[in-house]
Amino acid sequence: MKKKKYLPIIIPSALLILAVIVFFLSKGGTTGTANQGSLASTEVLSDNTPSQDNVVASVPESTEPEEPPFEEYDITLLALGDNLIHMGIVNSGIQADGTRDYSFLFNGIEDLLAVADIKAINQETIFGGNHLGFSGYPTFNSPTEIGDAIAAAGFNVVLHSTNHTADKGVEGIKNCVAFWETHPEVLISGIHAEKEENPEIPILTVKGKTFAILNYTYGPNASVISSGYMGRLEMLCAYNETNGAIDFTTLNPKVITDIQKANEVADIVIVFPHWGTEYQTSPSSFQKDWGMQMTEAGADLIIGTHPHVPQPVEWITAENGNKALCYYSLGNYTSTQKQQITMLEGLAWVTFHVTEDSIYISETNTGVIPLVNHYNYSPTRFENVYPLEEYTEEMALRHGIWGYGGVPFHLADLQKWSWEIFGDWILPKDSILGPAADETLPAAG
C-alpha cells in the first residue's frame, strides 16, 4: 500500500482522543485487545508512527504437539502338543448327573494361559459329533464338551489336521467344523467342511500384528487319501490327485505355496506340521528336510506334533538367508499312554518383539516349559498336567503308569530326558510370570 503522510497539528487532548476514536470507527476498527494486532495493517497516525512498510506482524509459533515416540512391545505365544483323548480322559469328565465337564484339563497351566496372547493346542482327536458315540484308540471320537473347555480356557487357535481327523469320515469333519462355528472366537486351522482347492490363509490378528496359522498332517492313517478328504484335510505329504496315493517322502507343493502366500498377507508365518516318527525323540531326516524347505519359503516359526514324545528345538537357517525357529515335536498334552517318556511334554513359549518397523522372535523368554501328564489307575482317570519343576518323586511314585505291569516312573528320569531333549531351551516359569525380563534382543540375524 502506498504510504500516506499527515501534517502535524496541535489540538486539545480531549479532542485528540475523540478524533482517534472517530478515526478507528471510520476504519471499521474496535477498541479493546482484540484489535491490538491490527496496527500493522492500518494507516499511520503521525510521522512518528511506523507504517505497514516497516512493521513486521508477529506470527505465533505452532502449538501442535509432537508425535510421541513408538513404544516397543511383546506378543507372546503358548503352544501345546497332542490333546490325545483316550477313554480314561473321556470318563474323567463325566459328572454325577451324567453331564460332561472338562474344564479341569487346563488347571495346571491356567496361570500361563492367563498371560499369553496367542494360545494354540493340537486337537489330536476329532469332535465328530456326540450322537455318534465316544471312542478311543484306534478310531477316536471325542466329546464336544472338550472343545467347550478349550474355548473357555482362552485358546484362540485349535489345530485339527492330524492322522485321526478322518476317524469319523467326512461326516465327522463336517460335524467338527459345525461345532467350532459356535465358538467364533477360536481360529480353526487344518480342516474344511467343504472341499476347498485354494482356501484363504487363516489369519489371527493380535495387538495390531497379523499371524498366519498353517496346519498340515502327513495323512489320514492310510496309504491313500480318498477323494472325499481331498480339499477338506490339509495335507503335508504330496499325493496323487487321481488315485490318492500318498508320497510320504515328498513335501506337498501346496505347503510351500501357502507359506509364500501367507508372507504376502501376514507379519509372521507359523507352520504347525503333524509329522515325524512316533516315540522317537530325535527328528527324522524328512522333518529336517521339510523344515528347511519351509524356512526357505518364508516360515518364521515351525511347531511340530505327532511323535507323542518331545523332540529338540533349534534355529534353521536356509541357504537364501531365511531363518525359522523349529520345535520338532512338543509331545502329548493329555493322554493315558503307557510309555514313560510319553508323560514328558513341552509347552512352547515364544516371545515376538515389536519395534516401529519390525517384528521378530526374541531370545528372551523363548523356549520350552517341560510338563508332566499325570493320571491315576484303576480306574484310569486324568488328574492334571504339572510343570516339571513342580513335580516330585512322591507324585511320580503314585502315577497311574505303574499300573501297567509295574512300568517304572521316576522324577530323575523325567529330569534327565528333559535336559537331553530341550537343553538350554528350558524356561523356568518365573521367567514368564515373575518380574519383567531385561532388554529384549533378536535371537538370530
pLDDT of residue 34 exceeding 80, the answer is: no
More reliable by pLDDT, 13 or 307: 307
Confidence of residue 388 (pLDDT cuts 50, 70, 90): very high
Both 42 and 109 in one domain: the answer is: no
More reliable by pLDDT, 28 or 93: 93
Both 38 and 186 in one domain: the answer is: no
Residue 59 lies in a domain: no
Cell numbers standing for residue 443: 535371537
pLDDT of residue 102 exceeding 80, the answer is: yes
For the residues 214-229, what does the mean pLDDT come to? 97
Both 41 and 180 in one domain: the answer is: no
pLDDT score for 436? 46
Q: How far is CA 215 from CA 87, 137, 211, 305, 307, in A?
A: 26, 23, 13, 10, 16
Confidence of residue 405 (pLDDT cuts 50, 70, 90): confident
CATH number at residue 304: 3.60.21.10
Both 81 and 164 in one domain: the answer is: yes
Residue 154 lies in a domain: yes
Is the sign of the CA dihedral 159, 165, 168, 174 positive or negative? Answer: positive
pLDDT of residue 65 exceeding 90, the answer is: no
pLDDT of residue 416 exceeding 60, the answer is: yes
Do residues 371 and 385 lie in contact, with contact meaning Cβ atoms separated by under 8 Å? yes
CA R_g for the chain: 34
Q: How many domains does one find in the chain?
A: 2
pLDDT of residue 103 exceeding 90, the answer is: yes
Both 296 and 170 in one domain: the answer is: yes
For the residues 422-430, what does the mean pLDDT come to? 97
Range of the domain at 44: 13-52
Distance, in Å, from the CA atom of 440 to the CA atom of 432, rounded to the nearest integer, reads 13
Both 191 and 44 in one domain: the answer is: no
Do residues 143 and 98 lie in contact, with contact meaning Cβ atoms separated by under 8 Å? no
Residue 369 lies in a domain: yes
pLDDT digits (tens, 9 = 90+) for 305-330: 999 999 999 999 999 999 999 999 99
Both 237 and 381 in one domain: the answer is: yes
More reliable by pLDDT, 135 or 438: 135
Name the average pLDDT for the chain: 88
pLDDT of residue 41 exceeding 80, the answer is: no
Residue 124 lies in a domain: yes
